[in-house]
């Protein structure tokens, strides 16, 4: 449809973006798969567990299809040149997450301890809210550069969001980590939203300061050492991360924000020295905090010896959890091809089986093959985000896109690595897969911003102003 309207009629190109096809039909075709695959998976779960096609198949399929359709139409109307892969990838992950949550809803054990039961319906509602926010971003954020105006407001917003869990009466202590707030019967993880706000702030700030940070430095042993006063911002962000680690005792959130800042700082300044500084500072911070914060120490002990942690929890020693070992067993029992939907026993993970640990359900029921496919889907989203950053024409867009993609990649790494026992466990969730409103809504907003940037980046550039040099660089096509 729309592809016919934008094929290049110019026979000259001085900028690569000219004539980029919109790829909206590609996106639509991919979306059909992204909806059909979860629908088949859903039917599969019902057949495996109850020997019948689940009664909700039609409404579920229509619901997901409708949401995907709305998202697609909004993109087609308001961001016609957007990257065609991101929406289908997010839809597929979101749909598979819904299937896994519904599958865990079928577990009597999890219903008994109130972890599961009707959660898939909630998640579908959250998804609808996520898509709504996505649409709002598409409709009202005509140009991502508008966000640049809100650099410092974003900073304040991010700080407030990050501090909310520490407010007495509002914050919620879940197994030692204070990253939740409770309003009425709703629990919200403000860190998920802070992620986006911080990326906006960092992008706006670094765009302005990058020249100063990059150029005013001395060379020492092959590294460019920043001036003392330029160290200010990185120290502030570092201190903030340390404070999160100490007061919210959440390694993941802390690592995520600091990592995101380092990535953006490196991209903005092109100075490797910042990475070296960042790594040194995070090492110092992590070791320093771990030396006195027992919750962090315990997470590290559980990571080093999950079997001991399991034994302690079985003996009823307070503060220990069998989850890490149960997750490893779930992965191992899945093996190469998995048990098939509905035939595993990942409910043994109990608490957070459908949120933080949802990847273990995929590991057990879809096996190595399924988890590798999921990881590649995440990898694709991240690399499409980086591609958007490369294609973006303005530094703010580049920085924002790489910040969001980098944070997304770090989050996937920290959560999947934690659940698979590669690094200590943290209290974050797999984007789109895991049960939880904050995560789903925030990540749809994140994808919305990335799609908006990609639309601007891929949009045909305004025709170059006629100037004599243009003639010299024309490429004449036969």
Partner 1 sequence: MNKPLRRIAIFCGLLVLTLLIRDNWLQYVQADQLKDDPKNRRVAIARYATPRGDIIVDGKAITGHATTEGDFKYKRTYKDGAMWAPVTGFVSQAYGANQLESIEDGILTGDDDRLFFRNTLDMITGEPKEGGNVVTTLNAAAQKAAYEGLAAQGGKGAVAAIEPSTGKILALASYPSYDPSTIAGSSTSDEEAWKKLQKNENPDDPMLNRALREVYPPGSTFKVVTAAAALENGLYTDADSKTNSPLPWTMPGTTTELENEGNIPCKDATLRVALQYSCNTVFGKIGSDLGNDKMLEEAKKFGFTEEQFTPVRSSASVFSDDMNQSQTALSSIGQFNTAATPLQMAMVASAVANDGELMKPYMVDELQAPNLDPVEKTEPEPMSRPLSAKNAQILQSMMETVVSDGTGQNAQINGVTVGGKTGTAQHGVDNSENPYAWFLSYAKTDEGSPVAVAVVVEDEDAVRDDISGGGLAAPIAKSVMEAVIDSKR
In the complex, the residues that contact partner 1 under the rule CB under 8 A are 109, 263, 266-268, 270, 307, 310, 325, 328-329, 331-336, 345, 348, 363, 367-368, 371-372, 375-376, 378-379, 382-383, 386-387, 389-390, 395, 398-399, 402, 405-406, 409-410, 412-413, 416-417, 420-422
**Smaller CB distance to partner 1: residue 2 or 345?**
345
Smallest gap, in angstroms, from Cβ of residue 18 to partner 1?
Answer: 19
Q: Looking at beta carbons only, is 105 or 248 nearer to partner 1?
A: 105
- CA–CA separation, 395 vs 270, rounded Å? 13
CB nearer to partner 1: pick between 38 and 406:
406
Which residue in 30, 57, 32 sits closest to 45, CA to CA? 57
From residue 216, alpha-carbon distances to 206, 230, 231, 396 in Å are 14, 9, 11, 21
Helix (H) or strand (E) holding 419: helix 395-419
Which contacts qualify for 23-30: CB closer than 8 Å, 24 or more apart?
23/83, 23/84, 24/72, 24/75, 24/76, 24/80, 24/84, 25/1, 26/84, 27/72, 27/75, 27/82, 27/84, 27/85, 27/87, 27/88, 28/72, 30/84, 30/85, 30/88
Separation of alpha carbons 143 and 129, rounded Å: 22
Nearer to partner 1, 63 or 367 (CB): 367
- Bridge-partner residues for 181, per DSSP? 171, 188
The SS3 of residue 396 is helix
- Complex with partner 1: residue 200 or 327, whichever CB lies closer: 327
Residue 74: CB minimum distance to partner 1, A = 27
| Shortest reach from residue 334's CB to partner 1, in Å | 6
- The residue among 385 and 437 lying less far from partner 1, judged by its C-beta, is 385
Is residue 391 within 8 Å of 457, Cβ to Cβ? yes
In the complex, what is the shortest distance from the CB of residue 266 to partner 1, in angstroms, rounded to a whole number? Answer: 5
CA dihedral 28, 34, 35, 41 (to 10 degrees): 160
Which CB, 174 or 420, lies closer to partner 1? 420
Which residue number, 300 or 368, has a Cβ lying nearer to partner 1?
Answer: 368
Nearer to partner 1, 250 or 322 (CB): 322
Cα torsion 41, 44, 48, 49 to 10°: value is 70
CA pair distance 431, 439, nearest whole angstrom: 6
Contact 41/53 with Cβ under 8 angstroms? no
**Shortest gap between Cβ of 212 and partner 1 (angstroms)?**
16
Strands across the sheet containing 186-188: 171-174, 177-183, 186-188
| Beta carbon of residue 420, minimum distance to partner 1 (angstroms, whole number) | 5
Other Cβ atoms within 10 Å of 105 Cβ, number:
21
Q: Whole-number minimum distance, CB 347 to partner 1, in Å? A: 8
What residues pair up with 80 in beta bridges, in sequence order? Answer: none
């Amino acid at each position: 449809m729309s592809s016919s309207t934008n094929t290049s009629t110019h026979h000259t190109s001085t900028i690569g973006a000219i004539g980029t096809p919109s790829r909206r039909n590609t996106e639509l075709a991919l979306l059909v798969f992204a909806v059909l695959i979860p629908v088949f998976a859903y039917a599969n779960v019902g057949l495996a567990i109850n020997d019948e096609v689940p009664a909700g198949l039609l409404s579920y399929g229509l619901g997901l299809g409708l949401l995907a359709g709305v998202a697609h139409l909004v993109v087609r109307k308001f961001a016609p040149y957007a990257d065609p892969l991101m929406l289908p990838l997010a839809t597929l992950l979101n749909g598979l997450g819904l299937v896994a949550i519904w599958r865990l809803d079928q577990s009597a054990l999890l219903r008994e301890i109130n972890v599961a039961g009707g959660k898939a319906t909630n998640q579908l509602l959250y998804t609808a809210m996520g898509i709504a926010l996505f649409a709002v971003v598409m409709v009202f954020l005509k140009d991502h550069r508008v966000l640049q105006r809100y650099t410092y407001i974003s900073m304040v917003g991010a700080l407030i969001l990050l501090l909310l869990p520490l407010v007495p009466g509002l914050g919620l202590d879940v197994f030692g980590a204070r990253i939740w707030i409770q309003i009425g019967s709703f629990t919200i993880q403000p860190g998920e939203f802070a992620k986006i706000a911080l990326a906006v702030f960092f992008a706006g700030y670094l765009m302005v300061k990058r020249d100063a940070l990059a150029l005013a430095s001395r060379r020492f042993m092959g590294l460019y050492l920043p001036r003392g006063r330029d160290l200010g911002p990185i120290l502030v962000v570092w201190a903030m991360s340390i404070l999160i680690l100490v007061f919210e005792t959440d390694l993941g959130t802390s690592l995520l924000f600091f990592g995101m800042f380092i990535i953006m700082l490196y991209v903005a300044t092109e100075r490797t020295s910042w990475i070296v500084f960042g790594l040194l500072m995070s090492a110092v911070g992590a070791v320093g905090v771990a030396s006195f914060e027992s919750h962090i120490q315990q997470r590290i002990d559980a990571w080093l010896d999950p079997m001991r942690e399991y034994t302690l929890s079985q003996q009823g020693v307070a503060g220990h959890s069998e989850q890490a070992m149960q997750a490893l067993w779930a992965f191992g029992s899945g093996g190469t091809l998995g048990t098939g939907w509905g035939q595993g026993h990942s409910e043994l993970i109990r608490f957070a089986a459908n949120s933080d640990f949802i990847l273990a359900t995929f590991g057990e029921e879809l096996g190595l093959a399924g988890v590798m496919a999921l990881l590649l889907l995440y990898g694709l989203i991240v690399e499409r985000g980086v591609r958007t950053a490369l294609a973006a024409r303005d530094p703010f867009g580049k920085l924002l896109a790489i910040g969001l993609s980098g944070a997304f990649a770090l989050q996937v790494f920290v959560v999947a690595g934690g659940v698979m026992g590669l690094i200590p466990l943290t209290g974050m969730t797999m984007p789109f897969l895991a049960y939880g409103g904050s995560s789903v809504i925030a990540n749809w907003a994140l994808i919305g911003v990335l799609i908006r940037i990609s639309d601007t980046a891929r949009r045909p550039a305004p025709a170059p102003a006629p100037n004599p040099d243009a003639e010299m660089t024309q490429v004449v096509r036969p």
